[in-house]
A and B are shown apart, each in its own frame.
Chain A
Amino acid sequence: MSATDDGTRGPPTDAAVSDEAVTDSDGAEELTLVEAVCDGLHTEMARDDSVMVLGEDVGKNGGVFRATEALYEEYGADRVVDTPLAESGIVGASIGLSLAGMRPVAEMQFMGFSYPAFDQLVSHAARLRARSRGQYSVPMVVRMPYGGGIKAPEHHSESKEAFFAHEPGLKVVTPSTPRDAKGLIAASVRDPDPVVVLEPKLIYRAFREPVPEESYEIPLGTAAVRREGEDVSVFTWGAMTQPSLIAAEELAAEGIDVEVVDLRSLSPLDTETIADSFKKTGRAAVVHEAPRTAGLGAEIAATIQEEALVYQEAPVKRITGYDAPMPLHAVENYYLPQAVRIRDGIRETVEF
């Protein structure tokens, strides 16, 4: 069996953007989140020859979500590599590539398939700097789509960010907007330490927004206040940002003024923004898709206890997935926090 390189696929007419993309007067294109991830990778590969992309189906196929579209045509098979199907191999090899001076961006096809690479990530990528007393570092990026709500088969919908955020030495970020996606990709690629980029696939193509053509960074460790409010703070990230904002608008009609903070960076946490928001409102809800127990909601609640206890007016409410395996799609919308649950949880906090 041999695959031919001829004739199966011509180069795309316009790198990284779909036909619907338009350019506004400032040169910013309207991109979806997944297009912005791709644009971020293009920009970084153009900027730095040592940046390479590797993973399953990332080359010719352009990624199963098209997050690496046209990279193969533009940068060739040495820098955009279709690997054998082996996640531990991909991450382990990326550690080695880092040691040789490359800047690998590894793709795990779905978070649910990243676990064979867990040993390489937590035993080595996360701690080589510490083990070698600063002699070696692993400036690699591991991208993985995560989260539910897309009627995917079993093992394709989980949110296990806490696994990675729990590991000292790893950084963990997740964008909720196209603009942030590009900026977080850039910052992650340039960071001297390993960064896990969790991409909320539910909103990969949910909406477009102008994304600057030039290169820019969203600094790791910085949260974004998406909606300012006085009565209660909602801390969330990724695909849960949108239903939180919807719930906030609905509650505004009832006279409840909700502040929505998109954490963006799950490790390190922007504790300053969390504490500042809470000091203003005195009440908080955390919204995440992951199971409740030992989820990041617990870390945020503890941070509030440590940083702003005297401001607290009510228990921190956790509006989350349940402590059960992610169900198949017939009932996944009962498992994931919907606007109705978010609204109800916020009301409970306000009425405490």
Chain B
Amino acid sequence: MNTQYGPGPHEGSNDESETEYVQILDADGNVRPGAEVPELDDEELLAMYEAIVLARRFDQRAISLQRQGRIATYAPMTGQEGAQVATSFALSGEDWLFPTYREHAAKYVHGVSLSSLLQPLYGHRDGYAIPDGVNVMPEYIPIATQVPQAMGKAWGDLLTGRTDRAVLCHLGDGATSEGDFHEGLNFAGVFDVPAVFVCNNNQYAISTPSDRQTASETIAVKATAYGVEGVRVDGLDPLAVYEVTRRALTRAKNPIDDERRPTLIEAVQYRYGAHTTSDDPSVYRDEEEAELWRERDPVDRMATFLESRGILTEERAAAIEDRVEAQIQEAIDSAEADETEPDAIFEHVYEEPSERLDQQRAELDRLREKYGDDPFSEVLQ
């Protein structure tokens, strides 16, 4: 790798858990001496920046919508947008994305519309209906369950000769404790499949810090046990995340000599905010801790980098802000106008509905006809 190893987030703090990781931009957004910037043209770099800005703004709007009672529980991603956007930027259209409930920006960059991201938050499952040609699975909520499935998708692609594609699977630090993580990574190693597993180590599984999640020094080191590649990257450095992911995907599709196809990437980052809008992080962590990470903010670092190269001007930044604002507002308006018919409960349970399900559908229709919809909107309790 031409990228440089930089210190962990506790630079100079004598923290024993400090472990090196791949970094291209330093904490201030300057290219590290000797580091090589990924081969992206100005437009691509600007597009990456715009997506990160959009992700941050989306997060703010979504949290605010939740506070107003307009959407249900939301899992914020502020602090993690850089890694999400950069990993998806490294994908080609043929590659498949297996996201969790927090990877809103990763899904968006790989082709899911903003209104689709919002629909489930408004209570409409149609947001999980992914359009043809967009290779994204509905988000995974039960922890780590996506890992063996992503492995299986990659395996199937290999078996059917689709060697132009790989699978990228997101997971959190908490997920590495689940059995499914072990089983999925073990299978990936044994069957040597074209899959890249990105562990977004945001330091907390709700309240449990990552050093209480595992006694391993890092998460990347776990790769060794499965016989797959392991790499640790500064998850707040979008350029480093992009480069590490790009290389992992290239190796997954075209391993050279005795290279292994699968990689486990540990993207070291921090969840600035709450686990979800139902969570109160002040109960279990110190705000000062968050400040250490905010100093390495991905939005600021990308902006500094792009400004230093003359790619990001004040004018362009203002245009980006305007576009982002308009795009998000349009998505909110669209999602708010959506409705789910009660009848949709009975759809898509099987390819052919069972007789009993049809009877139940008729039963609900009859009740609605008889009593109207008002009694159904009574709050239970």
Contacts and interface: CB of A to CB of B under 8 A. Distances in A.
Interface of A: 1-4, 7-9, 56-57, 59-62, 64, 82-89, 112-113, 115-116, 149, 151-156, 202-203, 206-207, 239, 242-243, 292-293, 322-325, 327-336, 338-341, 344
B140 to A, nearest CB: 10
B200 interface: no
B284 A331 contact: no
Given A1-B209, A56-B205, A331 B73 contact: no
A116 B284 contact: no
B29 to A, nearest CB: 23
Contact of B345 (A156, A334, A341): A334
Contacts of A3: 209, 211-212, 284-285
B17 A2 contact: yes
A329 B174 contact: no
B309 interface: no
A328 B124 contact: yes
A115 B142 contact: yes
B248 to A, nearest CB: 24
Contacts of B178: 85-88, 116
Contacts of A207: 381
B207 A152 contact: no
B203 A1 contact: yes
Interface in B355-375: 356-357, 360, 364, 367, 370-371, 375
Interface string B185-223: 000000000000000000101111111111000000000
Contacts of A293: 356
B208 A323 contact: no
Nearest to B139: A154
Contact of B123 (A60, A82, A83, A151): A151
Contacts of B340: 327-328, 330-331
A347 to B, nearest CB: 11
Interface string B327-371: 000000000000111101110010000101100100010010011
A172 B349 CA distance: 28
Nearest to A242: B381
B120 interface: yes
A152 B73 contact: yes
A62 B214 CA distance: 21
A61 B357 CA distance: 42
B283 interface: yes
Nearest to A320: B360
Nearest to A3: B209
B123 A330 contact: yes
Given A60-B207, A340-B367, A323 B349 contact: yes
B75 to A, nearest CB: 8
B315 interface: no
Contacts of B376: 333-334, 338, 340
A116 B174 CA distance: 14
Given A7-B286, A154-B141, A328-B123, A84 B208 contact: yes
Given A57-B207, A292-B356, A340-B378, 6 more contacts: A3-B212, A85-B213, A113-B143, A239-B380, A328-B124, A331-B340
Contact of A203 (B282, B370, B381): B381
Contacts, number: 172
A322 B364 contact: yes
Nearest to A207: B381
B375 A340 contact: yes
A134 B105 CA distance: 55
B120 A61 contact: no
B371 A152 contact: no
Given A85-B208, A242-B381, A8 B101 contact: no
A9 B212 contact: no
A84 B381 contact: no
B316 interface: no
A336 B376 CA distance: 9
A338 B375 contact: yes
Nearest to A85: B174
A286 to B, nearest CB: 15
A328 B102 CA distance: 18
B124 to A, nearest CB: 5
B368 to A, nearest CB: 8
A206 B380 CA distance: 10
Contact of B344 (A116, A239, A329, A331): A331
A206 to B, nearest CB: 4
Contact of A344 (B72, B285, B341, B371): B371
Contact of A324 (B283, B346, B377): B346
Contacts of B346: 322, 324
A322 to B, nearest CB: 5
Nearest to A329: B123
A64 B381 contact: no
Contacts of A154: 120, 125, 141
B271 to A, nearest CB: 12
A153 B277 CA distance: 12
B93 interface: no
A116 B122 CA distance: 29
Contacts of A340: 367, 371, 375-376, 378
Contacts of A85: 143, 174-175, 177-178, 205, 208, 213
Nearest to A113: B142
Most-contacted residue by chain A among B123, B208, B212, B380 (CB, 10 A): B380
Contacts of B357: 322-324
A247 B207 CA distance: 41
Nearest to A243: B380
Contacts of A155: 141-142
A83 B178 CA distance: 11
B123 A338 contact: no
